[in-house]
Structure 1
Amino acid sequence: MHIAEGFLPPLHAVGWTVAAAPFVVHGARAVVKEVREHPENTLLLGAAGAFTFVLSAIKLPSVTGSSSHPTGTGAGAVLFRPPVMALLGTVVLLFQALLLAHGGLTTLGANAFSMAIVGPWAGYGAYRLTRSLGGGLLPGVFVAMLVADLATYVTTALQLALAFPDADSGFAGAAVKFLGVFAVTQIPLAVGEGLLGVLLFRVLTTNARPELERLGLLPPAPAQEEVR
């Protein structure tokens, strides 16, 4: 992640673009609805997109010879739900392809499917499960960020295995190799991203509590009794 320009066979590139398109269209409608119904959340919405852009633009070398980066999509998924991140993540990937040469236009659909669709949904599912089991906001955010990151790289590894099956063992053998290159080495980075998410939401809890209450992430603060 990101899959480089021209790296995927044309049929795979088109297939992933077609698969991602309905989610992105749905995400665009979700963003329009969010801005129309809650214009006060526009600033936080932009911040979620910027957070994803900055975090996913950081490239770190891995021990396997490839490079890795955080994704940042788990935070936006917790704040605004996964459909919104389908659009924001795709826009982020588009600008990175055009401005930073990260990923590419022909592989935009595949990269969007892994980072902007699977990652946010997996992270949000992990967040909801953590909250349903009695975990608070911060544990839920940690799990969401970690799972969104790992799910993105697992999906990318499987996409590459489909495109480039092993000559002897086919898709399964290629999947093991690509998962070893991407997913295993991503674990410590995913843990770090989870911790960063906790720090981010601690700041938001202190400085943007009304917004988090409005989004249903925190209960309303008890009203202070008037001092007589």
Structure 2
Amino acid sequence: MKRILFISIFLILQSFSTAHAMHIMEGFLPLHWAVFYFALCIPIIILGVRKITKLIKADNEVKLMLALCGAYIFLLSALKLPSITGSSSHPTGVGLSAILFGPLVSSVLSMIVLFFQAVFLAHGGITTLGANTFSMGIVGPFAAYFTFKLLKQKNLKMAVFVSAMIGDLLTYVTTALQLSIAFPGKAGGILESFIKFSAIFAITQIPLAIIEGLVTVIIYDYIQRYFSNGIELGGEKI
């Protein structure tokens, strides 16, 4: 466990020296779109905070697992590959917390991670925090959660793998759509921009999503073996 923590801290520190804009960078979205995505996120975040409060009241030791899930999101989303102007590709890490605690908790953890990365690492931004939270903290976790619920009875490890991968991919499909709506093509409008953005994202994001799925299976298996007491899997006790 100490070795895992040491490696995690090392990789996080390394991310300080390789800063690229994470998701949609500061000031890249028009103001009305930035406000719109904040408005979409607020109800989900409120529900997420309420669920976290209930979890902690029921079992104070769950704080450790919540912190681990938050660190996992921070660590994976700090490993970036430059993609297109105003954005970048990286794993998201939201699938693990969505599987363990449900998508509402993941939304809160994602917003916290995105805020600290925007302030301390210049990844993303404050004005685009709503848009980035919507894609990585809402769409990604909800997609991962429902995928897991659908597949877990057939093959648990495969369900974890596919859930993490789908959560990652749909985060970037959403980001591509957000950029396309804000900056439609001159000839083909939103569809033209979406095809362009999603095609460029796919070059780096598909391999990253597969890797994230594999890593999440390893972490999930470790948690299941050593920290399973009282942990929820998608809202259900182990």
The answer on whether the counterparts of 1:154 and 1:183 sit within 8 Å (CA) in structure 2 is no
Q: Counterpart of 1:69?
A: 90
Higher-Rg structure is 1
The answer on whether the counterparts of 2:164 and 2:216 sit within 8 Å (CA) in structure 1 is yes
Question: Which of residues 124, 138, 162 is equivalent to 1:143?
Answer: 162
The answer on whether the counterparts of 2:81 and 2:204 sit within 8 Å (CA) in structure 1 is no
> Aligned Cα RMSD in Å?
1.8
Q: Counterpart of 2:179?
A: 160
Q: State the 1:81 CA deviation.
A: 0.3
1:58 lines up with 2:107 in the alignment: no
Q: Counterpart of 2:28?
A: 7
1:88 lines up with 2:109 in the alignment: yes
Provide Cα deviations, 1:26-68, integer angstroms capped at 9, x if missing partner. Answer: 1111111111112121110111111101111111245x68631
SS of the equivalent of 1:210 reads: coil
Q: State the 1:210 CA deviation.
A: 2.2
What TM-score, normalized to structure 1?
0.89
1:179 lines up with 2:198 in the alignment: yes
Q: Counterpart of 2:207?
A: 188
C-alpha distance 212-28 of structure 1, shift in aligned 2 (>3 A): closer
Q: Counterpart of 1:16?
A: 37
The answer on whether the counterparts of 2:101 and 2:232 sit within 8 Å (CA) in structure 1 is no
What TM-score, normalized to structure 2?
0.85
Q: Counterpart of 1:170?
A: 189
Question: 204-213 or 162-171: which moved more?
Answer: 204-213
Where do residues 111-130 of structure 1 align in structure 2 (5 Å cutoff)? 111-130=132-151
SS of the equivalent of 2:51 reads: helix
The count of aligned residue pairs is 215
Quote the sequence identity (%).
47
* Residue type of the alignment partner of 1:144: S
Where do residues 89-108 of structure 1 align in structure 2 (5 Å cutoff)? 89-108=110-129
Q: State the 1:202 CA deviation.
A: 1.8
Q: Which runs of 4+ in 1 moved over 2 A?
A: 64-67, 209-218
1:42 lines up with 2:63 in the alignment: yes
Q: State the 1:147 CA deviation.
A: 0.5
CA distance in 2, matches of 1:104, 1:185: 22
